[in-house]
């Protein structure tokens, strides 16, 4: 972490640490008092089984590119997820998203930092997957931003939440088939050429299942002139591995 990035993250982290003195935190995964993300929950995180597809990051039996990515390549270069969407990460993300535990985003970003750095991606700027205006108004904040911002500060990249916006409302992806998900988010995003042109962009989301949303975001970014797009999520829902869909 460069000196400028270190100071930027230090200031950001200090704000949440100060609030912890006033409102003592509880663990986002198990509710244990005194910490946002306890040591026990850290050890219980399920990581995606290796090897994974070089492109979409889905676990497979042998290294290389999966058949799905060969037949219908996504618009991002590569997608990776820190964990499987199961407990305790599932509970933490639901708490961040629905219970307004915004400080949890910083704690999760700390956990993600080492993993995303290990990927060696040549990232220049970071854009969170945007909420629709309706959902942002209802929730008051974008839960993805609460993870993406501190992660960006730690890595020393440029944080550009205005790079992507929703072009239209979409229905929830929950319960949709792969093809329905792809159709649901087709042309759902628009990117700002003045921000992304010629840049290597990382799109961040909280959970992915098929990667359809991230591929749609990547398509918008490429159309706006981005040089390359990578995708990263906190968790991956792996329904066919016995885990529930998101």
pLDDT at residue 225 in the model:
98
Distance in angstroms (rounded) separating the CA atoms of residues 21 and 53: 44
pLDDT in tens, 47-74: 999 999 999 999 999 999 999 999 999 9
Contact 178, 210 (CB under 8 A): yes
pLDDT in tens, 84-140: 999 999 999 999 999 999 999 999 999 999 999 999 999 999 999 999 888 899 999
The C-alpha torsion from 184 through 104 and 12 to 231, rounded to 10°, is -30
pLDDT bin (cut points 50, 70, 90) of residue 186 is: confident
Fold of 3-241: Rossmann fold (3.40.50)
Distance in angstroms (rounded) separating the CA atoms of residues 211 and 80: 10
Asked whether the predicted pLDDT for residue 235 surpasses 90, the reply is yes
Residue ranges per structural domain of the chain: 3-241
Q: Does 230 sit behind a cis peptide bond, omega within 30 degrees of 0 on the bond before it?
A: no
Average pLDDT over every residue of 186-211? 95
Kindly provide the b/e burial profile for residues 214-230, where b requires at least 16 CB atoms within 10 angstroms of the residue's own CB: bbbbbbbbbebebebbb
Query: The sheet that has 79-84: what strands, in order across it?
Result: 79-84, 228-236, 200-208, 125-128, 158-159
């Amino acid at each position: 972490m460069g000196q400028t990035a270190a100071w930027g993250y230090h200031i950001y982290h200090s704000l949440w640490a100060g609030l912890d003195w006033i409102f003592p935190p509880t663990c986002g995964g198990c509710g244990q008092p005194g910490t946002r993300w306890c040591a026990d929950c850290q050890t219980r995180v399920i990581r995606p089984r290796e090897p994974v597809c070089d492109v979409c990051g889905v676990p497979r039996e042998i290294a290389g590119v999966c058949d799905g990515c060969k037949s219908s390549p996504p618009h991002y270069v590569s997608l990776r997820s820190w964990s499987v969407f199961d407990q305790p990460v599932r509970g933490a993300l639901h708490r961040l998203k629905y219970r307004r535990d915004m400080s949890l985003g910083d704690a999760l970003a700390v956990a993600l930092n080492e993993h995303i750095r290990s990927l060696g991606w040549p990232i220049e700027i970071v854009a969170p997957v945007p909420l629709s205006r309706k959902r942002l108004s209802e929730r008051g904040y974008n839960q993805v931003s609460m993870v993406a911002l501190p992660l960006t500060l730690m890595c020393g990249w440029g944080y550009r939440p205005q790079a992507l916006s929703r072009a239209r409302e979409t229905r929830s992806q929950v319960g949709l088939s792969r093809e329905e998900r792809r159709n649901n988010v087709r042309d759902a995003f628009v990117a700002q050429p003045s921000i992304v042109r010629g840049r290597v962009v990382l799109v961040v989301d909280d959970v992915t299942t098929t990667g359809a949303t991230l591929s749609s975001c990547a398509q918008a970014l490429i159309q706006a002139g981005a040089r390359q797009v990578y995708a990263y999520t906190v968790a991956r829902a792996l329904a066919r591995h016995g885990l529930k869909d998101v």
